[in-house]
Structures are given as C-alpha cells and as structure tokens.
C-alpha cells in the first residue's frame, strides 16, 4: 500500500491540541491534500475518543474527500474516561471482540465503509497471534480494513504476529532523541521484510525547538546550525531529512496542527543529506563518535 511520503498525524487536531472548529479542520485537511499529503494517522483514543468523530463529520459534509485520502487508525488501548464508562482500568485489549468492536466504532465515526490501515496501538501481554490473525482475515475479507500493521512492538513481537498474518508497516518512535529503532533490530526487520516503517514524534516532541538545559538537545542544536546553513534549510527540515536519509524509507508522522509547519516539512523531501552529515547529527545525539 502506498502512503504519502509524510503522514499527517491527527492526535493534536482535536481536543488534545488545536481543538479545530469544523471550518478550521476542513481548511487544514484540504491544504494537506493540495500538498499531496493524503494519509491521515488517527487512533480511537485521540481526543478522549472524539477526534475520529470530528474527522468523520468533515467527511459527511464533504463527500468527495474520502476518495482522495487514506485513513489510518489504531486500536487496542483501553483508556479510563467518561466516554468509555465500561473501562475500569487502563489496559490493552487485542481480543477479537475488542478489535472488531473498535473497527465498527471507527467506521461509524469516520462515516466510511472501510479503513485503509488498522494498527494495533501497543503490545498486549495477552495477545494471541492466531486469534488476531483470524480477526484480521475476517475484517479484510469483509472489505472493512484494507491492510494491517502494529505500533510500538519489539522486533520479536512484530515477527510473532507477522508469521500468522502479513503486516504492512510498523509505527515506532524514531528521532535523533530516540534512536532505539536503529539499534534494537526493528528498522532492520522492516528492511528485511520490505515494509516501510512510520516514525511518530520524528522531531523528538519539539524539544529541540525550545530552550533547554539538556546536553543532548544543545549538542544537536549546535551541530544543526552549520548544517542548516549548508543546506539552506530550517532545523525542522534538517531533522526530517535525517530520518528520510535512512534506507528503510521511513515515513515521518507529522505531529503539528500548523499548516505552515506542514509546508516546511514537505521541503525536507528535497534535501540531499550527505552521509557524513548524517553521522554528524548521530554523533551530536550520542555525544561521541561511532565506535
């Protein structure tokens, strides 16, 4: 399945962030589509279980939009909230019953007949791969979900489920401030299976754009200053370009609700980051040269 080279994260579009009005959301989505960024990343829990519903209202009012976009959503986390009164403790649930119920809710929320991609949001200690695979097969055969993946799994957890049902992506936290995926085998696994990983929090939650006393943040800022001058780019563009340079063909999930930042991020697609400059940033992050 083809996704746009930058994925639009929906987590901060609603109650957990910008709290867009209907008109503001419509304008933001249309501008993203005009930029050629047609993939929107949701989760059932976003906005305390309200963001999918807001997005679905947009699709009802603009019926032509659905065919122009790809919708990702996630399930498996059960939050304690008044919008889910049956949840008595935060937990994970990958039972067939919960996955099917979550998909049916998401389809209603989005006012659509299908989801382009469903991700299991977090590893579930009680996950039964055979049960999940059977559920995925049922949803796919019914035309309700086109493809499936996971988020935040270890390489072993991914492999266990993938042996039972083919997964198309793995969404992970990947940035200069979180380099685990480069070292724990998850990116290598994606490459070996020829799937493109998705990177959430690709600029480290924005910490590098704020005043900080953290040595790692200040090392990255110092190293980036010269490189931004060299490539004629902004810091955010450089950080995205650093991810995009990796041969795993990482797909950054943008966490911003500011369309100007989305436009800025898109320019990172045209930055030909040199191999040594990639390692300049790596060394700035670790605080030492590679071994």
* H-only helix segments in 93-141: 96-110, 129-141
Catalytic residue among 46, 49, 231, 240: 46
Q: At which residue do the structure tokens 């001058």 appear?
A: 229
Residue 12 has a CB neighbour count (10 Å cut-off) of 19
Strands (E), the chain: 7-9, 39-41, 70-75, 77-78, 91-92, 115-120, 145-151, 170-173, 198-200, 251-254
Q: Six-digit token pair at 9?
A: 């994260």
Q: Is the dihedral of CA 113, 130, 196, 202 positive or negative?
A: positive
Is residue 46 annotated as part of the catalytic site, yes or no? yes
First to last CA, the chain: 37
Q: Which sequence positions are flagged as catalytic? A: 46
């Amino acid at each position: 399945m083809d996704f746009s080279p930058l994925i639009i994260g929906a987590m901060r579009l609603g109650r957990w962030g910008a709290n867009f009005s209907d008109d503001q959301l419509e304008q933001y989505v249309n501008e993203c589509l005009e930029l050629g960024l047609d993939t929107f990343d949701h989760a059932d829990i976003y906005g305390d279980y309200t963001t999918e519903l807001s997005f679905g209202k947009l699709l009802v009012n603009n019926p032509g939009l659905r065919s122009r976009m790809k919708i990702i959503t996630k399930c498996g986390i059960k939050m304690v909230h008044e919008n889910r009164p049956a949840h008595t403790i935060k937990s994970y649930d990958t039972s067939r019953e919960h996955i099917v119920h979550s998909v049916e809710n998401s389809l209603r929320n989005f006012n659509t007949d299908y989801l382009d991609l469903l991700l299991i949001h977090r590893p579930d200690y009680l996950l039964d791969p055979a049960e999940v695979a059977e559920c995925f097969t049922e949803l796919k055969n019914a035309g309700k979900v086109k493809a499936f993946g996971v988020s935040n799994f270890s390489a072993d957890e991914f492999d266990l489920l993938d042996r039972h049902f083919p997964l198309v992506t793995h969404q992970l936290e990947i940035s200069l401030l979180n380099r685990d995926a480069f070292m724990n085998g998850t990116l290598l696994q994606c490459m070996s299976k020829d799937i493109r990983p998705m990177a959430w929090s690709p600029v480290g939650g924005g910490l590098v754009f704020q005043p900080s006393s953290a040595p790692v943040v200040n090392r990255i800022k110092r190293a980036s200053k010269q490189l931004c001058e060299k490539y004629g780019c902004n810091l955010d563009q450089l950080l995205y370009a650093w991810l995009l340079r990796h041969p795993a063909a990482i797909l950054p999930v943008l966490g911003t609700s500011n369309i100007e930042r989305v436009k800025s991020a898109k320019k990172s697609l045209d930055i030909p980051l040199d191999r040594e400059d990639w390692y300049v940033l790596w060394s700035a992050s670790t605080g030492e040269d590679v071994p």
